[in-house]
Chain A
Amino acid sequence: MIDPEELRTRARDLLEGGQVRAVIGYRRGSRGWAAEPVVITRPEEAQDLVWDPSCVHNLALYLVQDRRRRGALRESTDRPIGILAKGCDARAIVVLMQENYVQRDEVYIIGLSCESSGMLDERKLAGAAEGIDPQALEAVDFEGDAFVLSSQHQQWRLPAAGVMAERCLECRNPCPKVHDTLLGKEPREQERRGTASAPTMSDPFAELQRFEQTADSAAARWDFWSRQFDRCIRCFACRSVCPMCYCEECMVDSISFTVTPDTTAQEKANRLRWIERSASRSDNIGYHLTRALHLAGRCIDCGECERVCPVRIPLRLLNTKMERESRERFGYEPGASVEVAALLASFRDDDPNDFIR
């Protein structure tokens, strides 16, 4: 288990020694036990850093923001930015490097292994156990494969698997593969998954499999998805939170199209709008299928899009579907390596061909 104090010392040393210009991490938020992302630049701020099961956010998003900000200010730098990275955050950073969005020497990755645990799913917690009022909690902590929840007067110890985020239950790489320094250990398979007779975690793609088993016809799937798509209000929270959605101009969102003082009214009117911003069923389908395809081979299943959706659209299903097909048919694993060619920029002679006439 990672001692948060060790993490603070590591971050403080890096800032003090001038090896990094800032550290992206988590601190205690304004809402009780929940952590929030933070960027610290002074060594004394390192004492605010936390590491616990509420560190759900994918911090790679703030790496994207950092690059954007530096780009806008034309700010050059000779020092990397430090970033805490769980397994999933590190996979996201790998994709960003693979796509040349950030360079390896621009980041200093402080890897954090989730070991035999993962992150807390707040929605699961709400109904998890008698007598726990999530509002009254003051802290959540790791303890092996359990979470310890504390309020002012009481403590509960819950098996983590019962209240863990679904993506963490299915996670294959809780320990970052690419890092500059690592806290915590690579869990052994058995620590992570238990035994066949007493499994603690789910199989990868377990939720997708459950869905496919219940909705096993085109009609049943359409029945399910048309309801999901109808509910989407196109708030774009799923896109905003996704570290892989870094395009300056997003084809599903006409207000992101670049407008300069020189853009004429005619040019604006003539911009091709494949998908309107309106939350109609057809435009929503256009949005979600486009997004799923743009994330194929890039989504590293941090589950953030699904977590932030205000109307609970099961976005992970779309993304893990693409991920499973890519893995099974093309042998491609997103976020595994900086060197390998991107999924859709490469091919193999034995890619599936039997669907073609």
Chain B
Amino acid sequence: MAEDPKTPYEPRIVAFLCKWCSSAGSDLAGVSRIQYPANATPITVPCSGSVSPQYILTAFRKGADGVLVSGCHLGDCHYLEGNYLARRKLFLVKELLEFIGLEPERFRMSWVSAAEGAKFAQVITDFVADLRPLGPQDKLQGQRP
């Protein structure tokens, strides 16, 4: 869809945030009153390793324009290995989505600690900026009855 310069497209992001780090990081961004776009719907998960590829596919199939998975920095995972396992698994998800022709910008991962409110805000800001020109994601989305 062409971009209308006057009313830019507001992408809808589903953000799977690890409760031990990125979710707390997003809270910190909030309480620190850092301004960032309100396009992301956060879903708190126990660990980035608990994010099934099915969550990501389903978010896209229900119409998400972008999906973010954010976890603790390597070495900081509450369950020690969860983010290492997530990294490998979600790398394949990313490759597969690109392989069938989804724009690579639409899926993203980040490591954001509970202390990195500013980084969280930056991740979302960048994501929204990258998604805006792409317009709505209508490839994986099912027809609504």
By a beta-carbon cutoff of 8 Å, the part of chain A in contact with chain B is 215, 218-226, 229, 251, 274, 280-283, 285-286, 289-290, 292-293, 296, 318, 321-322, 325-326, 329-330, 343-347, 349, 351-353, 355-357
Contact = CB atoms under 8 A, between A and B. Distances in A.
Contacts of A286: 57-58, 61
Interface string B84-105: 1101110111111111111110
Nearest to A294: B53
Contact of B99 (A221, A229, A326, A345): A221
Residue among A224, A229, A282, A283 with the highest chain B CB neighbour number at 10 A: A282
B89 A289 contact: no
B53 A280 contact: no
Interface residues of B, number: 37
A229 B61 CA distance: 14
Nearest to A297: B92
A154 to B, nearest CB: 45
B140 A285 contact: yes
Residue among B85, B91, B97, B108 with the highest chain A CB neighbour number at 10 A: B91
Given A222-B139, A282-B143, A318-B96, A274 B58 contact: yes
Contacts of B95: 321-322, 325
Given A221-B101, A325-B92, A351-B91, 7 more contacts: A218-B98, A229-B100, A274-B57, A280-B143, A325-B95, A345-B85, A356-B109
Interface string B128-145: 000000000001111100
Contacts of B139: 222, 226
Main secondary structure of the interface of B (DSSP, over half): helix
Interface string B68-81: 00000010000001
A285 B100 CA distance: 9
A289 B91 contact: no
Given A325-B95, A347-B87, A280 B103 contact: no
B57 A355 contact: no
Given A251-B54, A282-B141, A330 B88 contact: yes
B40 to A, nearest CB: 14
Contacts of B87: 347, 351-353, 356
Interface of B: 53-54, 57-58, 61, 74, 81, 84-85, 87-89, 91-104, 108-111, 123, 126, 139-143
B101 A224 contact: yes
Nearest to A283: B142
The 8 A-B pairs at the shortest CB distance, nearest first, are namely A222-B101, A282-B142, A221-B101, A347-B84, A357-B110, A225-B100, A356-B109, A218-B101
B54 to A, nearest CB: 5
Contacts of B93: 293
A288 B109 CA distance: 23
B101 A226 contact: yes
Nearest to A287: B57
B101 A220 contact: yes
Contacts of A329: 91
A344 B85 contact: yes
Contact of A356 (B98, B100, B102, B111): B111
Contacts of B98: 218, 221
25 contacts: A215-B101, A218-B101, A225-B100, A229-B100, A251-B54, A282-B140, A282-B143, A289-B53, A293-B53, A293-B92, A293-B93, A296-B92, A318-B96, A329-B91, A344-B88, A345-B85, A346-B88, A351-B87, A351-B88, A353-B74, A355-B94, A356-B109, A356-B110, A357-B109, A357-B111
Contacts of B96: 289, 292-293, 318, 321-322
A129 B143 CA distance: 46
Contacts of B99: 221, 318, 321
